[in-house]
Structure 1
Amino acid sequence: MEVLEHCTLCPRSCGVNRLAGERGFCRAGALPKVARAFLHKWEEPCLSGTRGSGTVFFSHCNMRCIYCQNYRISWQGRGREITVADLNGIFLDLQASGAHNINLVSPTPYIPVIIPALIEAKEEGLNIPVVYNSNAYETVAALRSLEGLVDIYLPDLKYIDAATAGRYSHAPDYFSAATAAILEMYRQVGTLTFDEGGMARRGLLIRHLLLPGQVKAACRILDWIRDNLPRETYVSLMAQYVPVWQAGRCPEINRPITAAEYEAFLDYFEALGLENGYCQGLEASTTAYIPEF
Structure 2
Amino acid sequence: MICRLCPRNCAALRTETQGAGLCRMPEGPVVARAALHMWEEPPISGSRGSGTIFFSGCSLGCVFCQNEKISHRDFGRPIPLERLADICRELIAQGAHNLNFVNPTHYAHVIARLLAEHPMPVPTVWNSGGYDRVETLRGLEGKIQIYLPDLKYLDPAVSAKYSAAADYPQAARAAIEEMVRQTGPCRYDENGLLVRGTVIRHLILPGQVNGAKAVMDYVAGTFPPHTVLFSLMSQYTPWGDLCQTPELDRRLRRGEMTAAADYMRNLGLDGFCQERTSAKEEYTPPFDLTGV
1:19 corresponds to: 15
Residue identity in the other structure for 2:8: R
1:192 corresponds to: 186
Given the alignment of the two structures, is residue 138 of structure 1 paired with residue 135 of structure 2, yes or no?
no
List runs of 5+ in structure 1 lacking aligned partners: none
Given the alignment of the two structures, is residue 42 of structure 1 paired with residue 36 of structure 2, yes or no?
no
TM-score, with normalisation over the residues of structure 2? 0.96
Given the alignment of the two structures, is residue 62 of structure 1 paired with residue 59 of structure 2, yes or no?
yes
Residue identity in the other structure for 1:268: Y
- DSSP 3-state at the match of 1:224: helix
Q: What aligned pairs does 1:94-133 form with structure 2 within 5 A after superposition?
A: 94-122=91-119, 126-133=120-127
Q: Separation in 1 of the partners of 2:242 and 2:144? A: 33
Deviation at 1:246, TM superposition (A): 2.2
Q: Separation in 2 of the partners of 1:104 and 1:230? A: 27
2:230 corresponds to: 235
Q: Separation in 2 of the partners of 1:96 and 1:70? A: 26
State, as a whole percentage, how many aligned pairs show the same letter: 47
1:215 corresponds to: 209
- DSSP 3-state at the match of 1:155: coil
Deviation at 1:273, TM superposition (A): 2.7
Residue number among 3, 11, 22 corresponding to 1:7 in the alignment? 3
2:69 corresponds to: 72
CA contact (8 A) 2:19 2:27 kept: no
Residue identity in the other structure for 1:29: P
Q: How many residues align?
A: 285
CA contact (8 A) 1:89 1:121 kept: no
Residue identity in the other structure for 2:12: V
Q: Separation in 2 of the partners of 1:273 and 1:70? A: 31
Q: Separation in 1 of the partners of 2:184 and 2:252? A: 32
Given the alignment of the two structures, is residue 163 of structure 1 paired with residue 157 of structure 2, yes or no?
yes
List runs of 5+ in structure 2 lacking aligned partners: 288-292
1:155-185 CA-partner distances (Å, limit 9, x unpaired): 0000011111011110111000000000000
Given the alignment of the two structures, is residue 152 of structure 1 paired with residue 149 of structure 2, yes or no?
no
Q: Which has the higher relative contact order, 1 or 2, with Cα contacts under 8 A spaced 6 or more apart?
A: 2
CA RMSD of aligned residues (A): 1.0
Q: Separation in 2 of the partners of 1:267 and 1:234? A: 16
Question: Structure 1: which 4+ aligned runs deviate by more than 2 Å?
Answer: 19-22, 246-249
Q: Separation in 2 of the partners of 1:185 and 1:160? A: 18
Q: Separation in 2 of the partners of 1:16 and 1:228? A: 34
CA contact (8 A) 2:204 2:236 kept: yes
Residue identity in the other structure for 1:49: G
